[in-house]
Amino acid sequence: MNSNHKGKPLLTNREREVFELLVQDKTTKEIAQQLFISEKTVRNHISNVMQKLNVKGRSQAVVELVRLGDLKI
């Protein structure tokens, strides 16, 4: 059980936006265009989230975020 989870959300607003688009099968490029950020920034957000969750790979991150209730599909 992640105790620091109650207080503040795991994801920043931007990270959540990126993952909400990711679960809609958007590519890095599409996410970047939609959020008006660079593809590199999109990838940084994704890897930051994977580090926070201690998972390898985007799909694992998505599964974990959904499990934690941080992401709705």
pLDDT in tens, 24-73: 999 999 999 999 999 999 999 999 999 999 999 999 999 999 999 999 88
Provide the CA 62 distance to its chain's centre, in angstroms: 7
Helix (H, G, I), strand (E, B) or coil at 60: helix
Architecture of domain 13-68: Orthogonal Bundle (1.10)
Query: Is 3's pLDDT higher than 80?
Result: no
Instruction: At 8, list the tokens.
Output: 């503040």
pLDDT digits (tens, 9 = 90+) for 4-23: 455 678 899 999 999 999 99
The packing angle between helices 13-22 and 58-68, to 10°, is: 110
